Amino acid sequence: MSDCIFCKIANKEINSELIYENDNIVAFKDLNPRAKMHFLIIPKKHYDTILDIDDTKIMQDIFKAVKEIAKKYNIDEKGFRLINNCKEDGGQEVMHMHIHMLAGEKLKTTII
Ligand code: 5GP
Ligand code: ZN
């Protein structure tokens, strides 16, 4: 996906503050943080939405990344929130599947 901003971040064609990387996944700081810590976890391979991921290894690696980031940033004790906005009703703006990881403070309750 040559015009996808998150593909460009994954390929390091665009700068971002990378906080984690393995063979299939990168995580980086959100440009417009909504909490003291706001990371985005993405597969390097382009999938439009979470519904398009057909490779269980990618899902495994995403959850492995969550655990490793939680340890690395010392948020495993107090916790964090994961959010996936999917398509229009979910409020997805960037059409490269990503998981928001929010932490570092007591997060406000929104819907749930
Ligand atoms: P969505 O609404 O699609 O779930 O979230 C997209 C997120 O990507 C937003 O929180 C937005 O701040 C973030 N974002 C959009 N463009 C960039 C970018 O170029 N760099 C980084 N680091 N974050 C971005
Ligand atoms: Zn992409």
Tell which one of 15, 32, 48 to mutate to probe ligand 1, the residue whose CB is within 8 A of the most ligand atoms. 32
- Mean pLDDT throughout 56-64? 97
Q: Is the pLDDT of residue 12 over 90?
A: yes
pLDDT at 78: 98
In this structure, which long-range contacts are made by residues 27-35, counting pairs with CB atoms below 8 Å and at least 24 apart in sequence?
27/65, 27/69, 27/101, 30/100, 34/100, 34/102, 35/102, 35/103, 35/104, 35/105, 35/107
Give catalytic status of residue 96 as yes or no.
no
Paired tokens of 96? 């490269």
How far is ligand 2, taken at its centre, from the CA of residue 98, in Å?
Answer: 10
Count the Cβ atoms, other than its own, within 10 Å of residue 28: 20
For 24-41, what is each residue's pLDDT tens digit? 999 999 999 999 999 999
When the pLDDT of each residue in the chain is averaged and rounded to a whole number, the result is 96
Does the pLDDT of residue 50 top 90, yes or no?
yes
Q: What is the pTM of this model?
A: 0.96
Q: Which CATH architecture has domain 5-103?
A: 2-Layer Sandwich (3.30)
> What was the pLDDT predicted at 106?
96
Nearest-CA residue for ligand 1 atom 20 is: 31
What are the pocket residues of ligand 1 if the criterion is a CB atom closer than 6 Å to any ligand atom?
A: 5, 16, 28-32, 40, 85, 91-94
pLDDT higher than threshold 80 for residue 110: no
Q: Given phi > 0 = left and psi -120 to 50 = alpha, else beta, which region is 91?
A: left
